[in-house]
Amino acid sequence: MSDTTIANLLTEQDATGLGALVSQGEITPLELTEAAIARIEAANPALNAVIHKSFDKALDAAQSPDLPDGPFTGVPMLLKDLWAANSAGDPNCLGTRGLRRTPFIHSADSNIVSLYRQAGFVIAGRTNTPEFGLMPTTEPLAFGPTRNPWNTDYGAGGSSGGAAAAVAAGMVPAAHASDGGGSIRIPAAMCGLVGLKPSRGRVTMDATINASGFSVQHVVCRTVRDSAAILDVSAKNFPDDNFTLPPSEQPFSKAVGSDPGSLRIGLLDTSPRPVVELHPQCAEAARKTAGLLEELGHKVELAGPQELVTDEATVAFGILWSTGAAVDMAVLSERLGREVTEEDVEPATWRMAQQGADLSEQDVQFAQDTLAQYSQNCLSWWDSGFDLLLTPTTALPPPRIGDLAALHEDPFQGLPKAIPYATFTAPFNITGQPAISLPMHFTPEGLPVGAQLVANLGREDLLLAVAAQLEYAAPWSGQAPSL
């Protein structure tokens, strides 16, 4: 194959297709890796998606006789530069200035990275993330903003914004991501990708940094079959996981193309919070999807959990989010080998961590009890006879670069503006349910917005089956930014 043909494969084929081409001998892992490196070098200056390049190690792995024979042998991948995706010998900066100046180098792969390597993926680098993954935009002071490939005046979302921008720009077909309040689904929606947040406990998560249980790991990618196939290789649990689910009865890949039957689906096309205004284009994404689902034989009705967002749950979530920031600071101190100073982190992170450290055990217990009751109330809607909930992924289209950024004079000025981006996503980090964002609509300005489907606990198979139906009815994988 010519270099041009190989380069085109990165945007024309998904990870599953590239793995098949390697298996059939049509292309070599080295050729794929070289093409990915060339694409990163060409596109990254405009996007700032990849902040650490592991090119030499990737080339060595691609040529190694020990490269595992798996479903994704030789397929290039990127890792999010946050907590649970540690790659041996690479820096892990967590979006902080402190660790950019004094990088922490892991001596071993984390569990999920080991699983990716066993499946044959070739790790080519690490992607940009907001500091500690706390914001739905990727604009850390340490590394600068990641820009949206569809229009570089806009953000790529967060906290997996670097991952989403890289995949949308054709650097790699899939990239590791994580989601503690919408951090897979929000950037997937903003960059025109598939973003599945698995159920809590479906994919391994380092217990030491997952005390709240909000965060889970998976990928952003361009096709439903990739999301399913990569979940098949990563849906494993390890002894140190806080949360585990029983293994799926069959591979998730089998759900793609299967007939889920006629489902009862609730549609929420208005804002669940009086203080959050739903943008018409985001509402249109959900309504357009509802129409397609009805054409596919499903029954869609205006319905949803009675109180998807409550004031009590919002306060409780904020308490645990703040205590999580305080824990993050303690781990940062350990990695730096000294006390953290205000020069090491952003003003908003510093203030949030201080607030978290000042909270009492009673505050934390109140938050946990409140969210446990909230989860029970929310989940009862699915038990009442509904199979899925359909919502917009975000209440607003992608923001302009700088709109959500913190200011030194007002560290928290970006937080109220961030709320609309997590209004439809964060509730399901609380309940632990699986949810998927699909690229169902574009604004008149050409920016992607997503529609979200939510299933009951453990029902990724149902999400993937319906998502595959939608992908077949309204194909999106051929759409790509002109960057």
Closest CA to 160 of 217, 232, 113: 217
- Helix H or strand E segment including 386: none
Report the alpha-carbon angle 187-192-197, nearest 5.
50
Collapsing DSSP to helix, strand or coil, 27 comes out as coil
Active site residues: 80, 159, 183
Task: Report the alpha-carbon distance of residue 392 to residue 150 in Å, rounded.
Answer: 19
Residues in the chain: 483
Collapsing DSSP to helix, strand or coil, 414 comes out as helix
Task: Report the alpha-carbon distance of residue 139 to residue 135 in Å, rounded.
Answer: 9
The amino acid at 160: S
DSSP one-letter code for 249: S
The amino acid at 235: A
**Interacting residues of 327 by C-beta distance below 8 A, sequence separation 6+:** 209, 211, 356
Closest CA to 301 of 287, 311, 312: 287
C-beta of residue 431 within 8 angstroms of C-beta of residue 324: no
The amino acid at 47: L
Q: Which residues pair with 206 in a beta bridge?
A: 241
DSSP one-letter code for 279: P
C-beta of residue 380 within 8 angstroms of C-beta of residue 336: no
